[in-house]
Structure 1
Amino acid sequence: MDHEYVVLGGVNRAQIGKYLASTASVVSGLLVWALLQAVDLAKGLGLSTNLPPVILSLIGAGTVYTVLYLIFRRWIWRVPLVAGWLKVADLSGTWICDGHPFPRPNSLAIEWKGTMTITQDWDKVRIHLDAGLSKSNSDVAGLVSDPIEGFALLYSYRNEPKPGQTELSAHRGFAKLIFAKDLKTGKGDYFNGDGRHSSGTLTLRRQ
């Protein structure tokens, strides 16, 4: 399931809500004015007009805000200029992932390849990793805008073996990924526990 994520180092989300509320008030006022002007014009032309109050309520500030927020949440925040101002990276898409476990005594961990799929909008995100023998999904995440390192994605996840993989056990883990400025590659570390004690590095490239 997609879940909320924290944004650190970017524009405060509450401030975005205030901007949208102010814009909604202005847009709503202009729409009401334009509609009333149209009614007056129709009457001036001798046309029969009837403007039910429900029409005015439909273009009220609350409705306009809802529409603006939906558009902003799904599309506007992704526009490069807007994303640059917000300091939020659009990481959605498919990433080819290579895992390199750290050597440990008696460890059976081997290098692996997988596909990471990230779904993201302004409010929610989900990081899904198909590693061949198992799959994992994020449950908590945070996106950090660092002026030195760039964008970093930190998240915890739950990994579950695929059916038939009896030698593997479900476990929880944590990963930190740092993305290049062009958002085409990334690298980071992962740490597993609670069922599979292992750790290593990850390299990503956008498909």
Structure 2
Amino acid sequence: MIAPQEHEYSVMGGLNRAKVGRYLSMAASAISGALVFTLLTAVDLAKQLGMHVNAPPTLLSLVGAGAVFGLLYWVLNKWAWKWPGLCLALKVPNISGTWDCIGRTLEADGSIKYEWQATVTIVQSWDKLRIRLTTQQSGSSSIFAAIANDSVDGIVLLYHYRNDPKTGAAGLVSHTGCSVMTIAPELNTATGDYFNGRGRMTFGTMHWTRRN
């Protein structure tokens, strides 16, 4: 089995990532041009003052458009996407953190079969995501995810996951499933449904509460 890891996720209703890349490219070109101009101007000024200085190619490459773009993308992916104003413009909600989960597995008639508790850990950057849900008996990790900005329902998180039982968990087998969670506007609670298949044909509801 491949070890779970962060994966790309889709944002429906958000700012197109290709368009963001173009904006970063334009900003990188402008910043790089300004830095190179400033550096060469400083070198010329130093020579006029009788100093023997040069701008080596290695130094110029450090302020090239490619290097500046890489730095801007790293800052965006790591931190900037969470800044309030930029987060609003990108329409990528910050759902990272730890959530407490109360789940209910249901019978076919809608009655409660049993209740369970779990911890949901979400690791998120601008372009990658991982949702990890753990109970006393098993753990699941997301394989694919999408976030939808719905004008009626609000923020909807859809993800596909693989669940693996812990060693010694009797009666449980590995299985896959999917979940659809509707997240409240303040990003502190979420409610939704889950559906299992391929090894465990169960379904139910979940309620998440985000820890401070």
Please give the range of the TM-score, normalised by the shorter of the 2 chains.
over 0.9
Q: Is the contact between residue 104 and residue 112 of structure 2 (CA under 8 Å) also seen in structure 1?
A: no
Deviation at 1:166, TM superposition (A): 2.3
Q: Answer yes or no: is 1:143 the counterpart of 2:151.
A: no
One-letter amino acid of the counterpart of residue 163, structure 1: T
Match of 1:46 among 43, 50, 55: 50
Q: Does 1:94 align with 2:98?
A: yes
Q: CA deviation at 1:148?
A: 1.6
After superposition, the C-alpha distances for 1:61-113 in whole angstroms (9 at most, x for unaligned) are 011101100111111111111111111111110000000111248x9952000
Query: 2:196 is matched with which residue?
Result: 192
Q: Which of the residues 76, 79, 86 maps onto 1:82?
A: 86
Say whether residues 1:33 and 2:37 are aligned partners: yes
Q: Which whole-Å CA distance do the structure 2 matches of 1:198 and 1:150 have between them?
A: 27
Matched, 1:170 2:174: yes
Distance 1:144 1:114 in 2: 24
Query: 1:130 is matched with which residue?
Result: 134
For residue 30 of structure 1, report the CA deviation from its aligned partner. Answer: 0.4
Q: Is the 8 A contact 1:109 1:198 kept in 2?
A: no
Q: 2:23 aligns with which of 14, 19, 26?
A: 19
Provide the aligned length of Structure 1 versus Structure 2.
Answer: 206
SS in 2 for 1:111: strand
Output the CA distance in 2 between the equivalents of 1:109 and 1:39: 76
Please give the alpha-carbon distance, in whole angstroms, between the structure 2 residues aligned to 1:189 and 1:150. Answer: 16
**Post-superposition CA distance 1:147-194 (Å, at most 9, x none):** 221111101101111100121111110000111111011111000111
Give the alignment partner of residue 72 of structure 2, picking from 44, 68, 75. Answer: 68
Give the fraction of aligned pairs with identical amino acids, expressed as a percent: 47
* Counterpart Cα distance in 1 of 2:124 and 2:58: 36
Question: Secondary structure of the residue that 2:167 maps to in structure 1?
Answer: coil
Q: Is the 8 A contact 2:105 2:205 kept in 1?
A: yes
Cα distance in 2 for residues equivalent to 1:100 and 1:74:
35
Indicate the larger mover: 132-141 or 40-49: 40-49
How far does residue 54 in structure 1 lie from its aligned partner after superposition?
Answer: 2.0
Task: Please tell me whether residue 158 in structure 1 is matched to residue 162 in structure 2.
Answer: yes
Unaligned residue ranges in structure 2 (runs of 5+): none
AA partner of residue 116 (structure 1): V
TM-score of the pair, normalised by structure 1: 0.96
